[in-house]
Amino acid sequence: MIQTEEDGLRSGIVAIVGPPNAGKSTLMNGLLGQKISIVSPKAQTTRNRIMGIMNGDQYQIVFLDTPGLHRAREPLNQEMVRIARDSLRSVDAALFVIDVSLPLPEKNRAEKGQELAGHIEEVTCPVILALNKVDLVNKEKLLALIEIYAALYPFQAVIPLSALHGDGHDRLLAELLRILPFGPRYYSEDIPTDASERFLVAEIIREKVFLLTGEEIPYSTAVLIESFKEDAAKGLVTIHAAIVVERESQKGIVIGKGGVKLKAIGTAARKDIEILLDQKTMLKLWVKVHKNWSKDEKFLREIAGNT
């Protein structure tokens, strides 16, 4: 049934954008009340546009979690920025997320304003500025920061919040519902995301690589799901996945002495995959070398189509 303004249902698409490691994925997961996007303390964890769908009695909000906006030089990073920028097209609202715990020296404010405006200069929808990680800033400093950031761009609203602890979520939701149009639900109420199970499984494995390896390793890895088989009779899913690295030396680091590191990645990933799929999972991982894959546009397309 098509909902109308008389029904009072608001619906719309909201892009969550901002610099790397600002807390965009944590914010979307917190608003949805479940984990859709992977999270790690490392910047640029998110590489793809990930949809999360939030339903209420009188609304449906389709959130688009996006890779961090930054000055990209390498093909992989350029593709990530392109995905983020493209996500701003044809949306009903945008959330620009900033980490206020990072210093903002006065001499850099004009540059910061130009950079911010450059990211969203072509956006025609309302933009809300979400000042994240306010739990790490004292109140006096926060008031000054709100003033500074509010002057950088004509935002629809400036909302302090803590994505991790949920502070400010209610105010943010109220502001979104005020500006989103009346309209029908885009998706059935029982669908939390449009992402496939294969994609989510690959993301979980990649998250564990980010969490359990150091330095450049996470940024040099990709995950390919090579086999995904369900056995309904046994209530078992068997997944074969390859962790792809760029150099032979990285392969040894991911595997670890005696295979300890790879086993730890697999064990941690399997636990989350079983929660996601709600059934027992057999996960088999191995590591492949694809030299300089992050600069190989053909391989980048293969990754995008794999899941």
Residues 6+ apart with CB under 8 A from 219: 44, 294
> Residue 89: how many CB atoms within 10 A of its CB?
11
- What's the mean per-residue pLDDT of the chain? 87
76, pLDDT greater than 70: no
Token duo for residue 121:
């200069």
DSSP readout, 295-307?
A: G-HHHHHHHHHH-
Closest CA to 19 of 111, 96, 126: 96
What phi and psi values does residue 128 have, to the nearest 5 degrees? -100, 135
Q: Report how far residue 253's alpha carbon sits from residue 268's, in angstroms, rounded to the nearest whole number.
A: 17
pLDDT for 202-218, tens place per residue? 999 999 999 999 877 88
pLDDT for 105-139, tens place per residue? 666 666 766 777 777 777 889 999 999 999 998 88
Q: Report how far residue 259's alpha carbon sits from residue 98's, in angstroms, rounded to the nearest whole number.
A: 39
Q: What is the pLDDT, as a whole number, of residue 7?
A: 61
Q: Which domains does the chain have, with CATH numbers?
A: 5-179 (3.40.50.300), 197-306 (3.30.300.20)
Residue 191 three-state SS: coil
pLDDT for 9-44, tens place per residue? 999 999 998 888 899 999 999 999 999 998 887 777
48, pLDDT greater than 50: yes
Confirm if 97 and 18 have CB atoms less than 8 A apart: yes
Q: How far is CA 214 from CA 29, 70, 72, 254, in A?
A: 25, 22, 22, 10
Closest CA to 132 of 123, 140, 142, 144: 142
* pTM reported for the whole predicted model: 0.85
Higher pLDDT, 298 or 113: 298
Q: What is the pLDDT, as a whole number, of residue 97?
A: 94
Q: What is the pLDDT, as a whole number, of residue 107?
A: 60
Q: What is the pLDDT, as a whole number, of residue 166?
A: 94
Confirm if 245 and 221 have CB atoms less than 8 A apart: yes
Residues 6+ apart with CB under 8 A from 145: 100, 104, 131, 137
Q: What is the pLDDT, as a whole number, of residue 214?
A: 82
pLDDT for 219-237, tens place per residue? 889 999 999 999 999 999 9
pLDDT for 230-268, tens place per residue? 999 999 999 999 999 999 999 999 999 999 999 999 999
Find the DSSP H helices in the chain: 24-32, 75-86, 109-120, 139-150, 169-179, 197-212, 248-255, 260-277, 297-306
Which amino acid type is present at position 105?
P
Q: What is the pLDDT, as a whole number, of residue 4?
A: 47
What phi and psi values does residue 29 have, to the nearest 5 degrees? -60, -40
Higher pLDDT, 113 or 201: 201
